[in-house]
Amino acid sequence: LNGVDQGRAAALAGNFQAVVFEPDLLALVKGGPEGRRRFLDSALCQVFRPYLVALRRYMRLVAQKNALLKNYEATPNASLLLDAYNEQLAQYGGQIMAHRQKFVDALAPAATHNYAEISHGAEEFSLRYQCCADAPTADALAEKLAAVRAGELRAGFCLTGPHREDLDLQLDGQPARVFGSQGQQRSCVLAMKLAEATVVGSFFGQHPVLLLDDVLSELDDERQTYLLTRMGEHQTIVTTCDTAAFARTNGKIVYVKGGQVSETPFPT
């Protein structure tokens, strides 16, 4: 399920909102589409329970359809079964795409604004949802599935759908993954994650908790300062091996060593 923990996600959906920063997220820009889909899914699953339900059912159908396509000639009534799968995939996929479009419509301007603050307007960051069909609807996905049916039979697996979508991230009109420097790419990630927090908060009516897992060491001084300033506006929990960065905040520091917890540094 694109890395989303289905069990705990189901229990927490609509009840607890958090935005997580971790070192691996800094590959959100330069990595593959699956990471950007996971970014969307993780945010949407905790805000909208119907999205989580649709995504789980959709991914189960994809697995079933792939199994059918792989053994198509040996399966009785394969054509009728494929029709049934495509009908359900269009139904649940349409729900997924509609939620993704709504989320990105709100996310994009916030991310652009955040990036402008981080970079002091050096370049413009933009992001766009790359929908797999002509529109984020069940009807449009049904048309797309019908159009690729012959190709899927030849390939032996699903060729289109929300599970193959992506976000288009650009800096000054060029792909950020290719043309962005490492620093620019990290600024893109910060801009996107802080925008996620803003949008999740607006959808839910309460700002999510920010969870930063040893991510400060991955950022230079200027980006650390920006993140620490922004996170000071909301409830935030940070883990780090270097407490020096906290000199610029007034948060409470707790030290953990060998399973013991202390509010004062452990003797060296």
Within a domain: 246? no
Within a domain: 236? no
Q: Where are the alpha helices (DSSP H) in the chain?
A: 6-12, 33-47, 49-70, 78-119, 138-147, 149-155, 176-179, 182-204, 221-231
pLDDT digits (tens, 9 = 90+) for 3-47: 555 455 455 555 678 888 887 877 899 999 999 999 999 999 988
pLDDT digits (tens, 9 = 90+) for 168-177: 999 999 999 9
Chain centroid, CA 83 distance in Å: 30
First vs last Cα of the chain: how many Å apart? 44
What percentage of the chain carries pLDDT values higher than 70?
92
Within a domain: 182? yes
Taking 90 as the threshold, does the pLDDT of residue 111 lie above it? yes
- Looking at residue 108, its pLDDT comes to 98
Pairing of strands 174-175, 209-213: unpaired
Within a domain: 50? yes
The SS3 of residue 108 is helix
Structural domain of 73: 6-14+25-203
Helix (H) or strand (E) segment spanning residue 256 = strand 255-257
Within a domain: 138? yes
Query: By the 8 A CB rule, do 185 and 116 touch?
Result: no
- Looking at residue 255, its pLDDT comes to 83
Tally of structural domains, the chain: 1
Q: What angle do CA 68, 39, 138 make, to 5 degrees?
A: 45
What is the mean predicted confidence (pLDDT) over 148-167?
98
> What sign does the CA torsion over 35, 166, 93, 203 have?
positive
Structure-token pair, residue 177: 């993954």
CA distance 144 to 126: 27
Within a domain: 223? no
Within a domain: 214? no
pLDDT level of residue 1 (50, 70, 90 thresholds): very low
In terms of C-beta density within 10 A (0-12 exposed, 13-18 middle, 19 or more buried), how is residue 102 classed?
middle
**CATH number of 38's domain:** 1.20.1050.90
Within a domain: 69? yes
